[in-house]
């Protein structure tokens, strides 16, 4: 028996969109392109790292979709990458931009279930649209074992093909178009 269903993207949907962001930002044309795809996938999933402290107290949802899923979270993550990038790469502007757009893509895909203005208000800001996303059902306040059981339930796993159908085509199109423009430039 599953709990409440909400439409948010899963890790797979976020990863596909993160990769599309990197590809559209020209990652295919620069050295170490696979590092940049991996980094974009990380940035596009970074807001959900707020599940980690909840796992430690056996209440995964406790910190979930609060600070990290807000404009405050976006600015904090961008700021951290901005500072770290100066030590990690000579492409620090690229890295910071990729981080902020990848992270922002997560917030857009999780709409309308995010508190944009946290900590001013923990309320979800109502929006009249939601992106195509998986309808994931979980029990609020459930423990780690419950959550894992629910995430791997047939009901929830069957939502993933829907996401792939929605987010794989934009990735393939961006891949194809950037290939074309690279070939033209060569």
Cα→Cα distances 18→60, 97, 162, Å: 24, 12, 17
Using rule CB under 5 A, residue 110 touches Zn ion: yes
**Among the residue ranges 53-61, 103-111, 126-134, 176-184, the one whose residues contact Zn ion (CB under 5 A):** 103-111
Q: Shortest approach of Zn ion to residue 13 CB, angstroms? A: 10
Q: Shortest approach of Zn ion to residue 88 CB, angstroms? A: 25
User: Alpha-carbon distance 45 to 102, whole Å?
Assistant: 8
Radius of gyration from C-alpha coordinates of the chain = 17
Q: Shortest approach of Zn ion to residue 93 CB, angstroms? A: 26
Q: If you search the block for the tokens 């100066």, which residue do you land on?
A: 86
Binding Zn ion (rule: CB under 5 A), the pick from 15, 41, 48, 70 is 48
Number of residues near Zn ion (by CB under 5 A): 3
Using rule CB under 5 A, residue 50 touches Zn ion: no
User: Alpha-carbon distance 151 to 183, whole Å?
Assistant: 42
Tell me 43's DSSP state.
H
Give the footprint of Zn ion on this chain (CB under 5 A): 47-48, 110
């Amino acid at each position: 028996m599953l709990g409440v269903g909400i439409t948010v993207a899963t890790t797979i949907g976020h990863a596909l969109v993160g990769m599309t962001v990197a590809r559209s930002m020209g990652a295919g044309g620069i050295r170490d392109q696979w590092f940049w795809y991996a980094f974009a996938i990380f940035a596009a999933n970074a807001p959900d790292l707020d599940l980690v402290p909840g796992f430690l107290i056996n209440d995964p949802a406790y910190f979930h979709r609060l600070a990290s899923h807000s404009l405050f979270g976006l600015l904090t993550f961008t700021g951290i990458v901005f500072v770290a990038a100066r030590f990690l790469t000579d492409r620090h502007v690229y890295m910071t931009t990729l981080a902020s757009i990848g992270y922002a893509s997560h917030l857009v895909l999780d709409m309308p279930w995010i508190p944009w203005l946290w900590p001013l208000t923990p309320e979800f800001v109502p929006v009249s649209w939601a992106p195509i996303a998986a309808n994931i059902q979980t029990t609020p306040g459930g423990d780690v074992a419950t959550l894992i059981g629910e995430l791997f339930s047939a009901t929830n796993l069957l939502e993933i093909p829907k996401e792939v159908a929605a987010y794989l085509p934009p990735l393939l199109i961006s891949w194809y178009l950037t290939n074309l423009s690279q070939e033209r430039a060569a």
